[in-house]
Structure 1
Amino acid sequence: MNQISQLHISSNTLTPQIYSDLRQKCSNLFQPYETADIEIALQNTLYSVVIFDKQQPVGIGRVVGDDRIVFFIKDVVVDPAYQKRSIGTMLMRSILDYIYKQACPSAYIGLMSTPDKESFYEKFGFIRRPNELQGCGMVKFVE
């Protein structure tokens, strides 16, 4: 665990309760899921990270994929009361450290940015799509 002031990072300790609570604090951005579904999702997560202020979770992130060629960064969420304090940067550094240790050369790292957060991810080398070489990212939700 890395200590930074009152904040500390904990790997692979994300629980359904922490996941739901932090996403609910940003309810305008995220749809809710049933606890049983969250439990399965977290069991199938390659890596997760939680940032705590003392004992209070204030940021989360996780990685899904095949752990070698494809990695998808999901659920990077920071409690609105803690935004603009470099917590997102701490989450992304931890996530990318994990991925770089696991990934083969030319591995794909994807994510879907929330609106107006693209420049945050560009600081970590992510590129916007579409561009001259790549089409738009696409998504479909199960009804």
Structure 2
Amino acid sequence: MLRIVEQALTPEIYCAIRDKVGFQPYAPEDVAAALEKTLYTVVIMDGDEPVGIARIVGDGRIVFFIKDVVVDPAYQGRGIGRLLMDAIFRYIDTAACDNAYVGLMATPGTEGFYEQFGFIRRPAPGLGHGMVCFVHPGRSSHTAL
């Protein structure tokens, strides 16, 4: 039976789920520091096994950024992503001011999933491109990858 568990994301769960999908690994101490600054987390459990995670970072009122919506590949296509996003928006609906900004960066091929929640692809009329860079402390430059 699937359960939604709020504010229970640990560095161990975070690293394990991301590893299952082949995402960039981070040191557990870096994950712990990041989770301390996270506004909200949600974990979907199947019994005692975490099968999906998501979190929100931001200022808690005007800007929310959805991060790390990740589902164990063995559970993909079963509605876990929808459960995660529904929980995310329940939280945002209680915290956000009118006209708050909610952003995310979609993994290639998942854009259609997020469009069902009202997200638009950028660029769009009146909006520029979404942009990202990756920081490598101690190096002289930042990179797109």
TM-score by length of 1: 0.94
CA offset at residue 132 of structure 1? Answer: 1.6
Tell me, what secondary structure is at the counterpart of 2:102?
A: strand
CA deviations over 1:14-58 (Å, ceiling 9, x no partner)? 00000000000011xx21111110001011100000000000000
Match of 2:94 among 72, 89, 101: 101
- Answer yes or no: is 1:13 the counterpart of 2:8: yes
TM alignment of 1:56-67, pairs within 5 A:
56-67=49-60
Q: Distance in 2 between matches of 1:127 and 1:96?
A: 16
Residue 11 of structure 1 aligns with an amino acid whose one-letter code is E
Distance 2:133 2:94 in 1: 30
Q: Which residue number in structure 2 is paired with residue 126 of structure 1?
A: 119
5 Å-filtered alignment, 1:41-120, equals 41-120=34-113
Query: After superposition, where does 1:26-41 map in structure 2 within 5 Å?
Result: 26-27=21-22, 30-41=23-34
Which consecutive residues of structure 1, in runs of 5 or more, have no partner in the other structure? 1-5
C-alpha distance in structure 2 between counterparts of 1:71 and 1:56, whole Å: 28
Query: Percent identity between the aligned chains?
Result: 60
Q: SS state of the match for residue 85, structure 1?
A: coil
Q: Secondary structure at the match of 2:45?
A: strand
Q: What is the TM-score normalised by the length of structure 2? A: 0.93
Determine the C-alpha separation between the residues in 1 that align with 2:67 and 2:125.
26
Unaligned runs of 5+ in 2: 137-145
Q: Per-residue deviation at 1:131?
A: 1.1
After TM superposition, what 4+ stretches of structure 1 lie above 2 angstroms from structure 2?
none
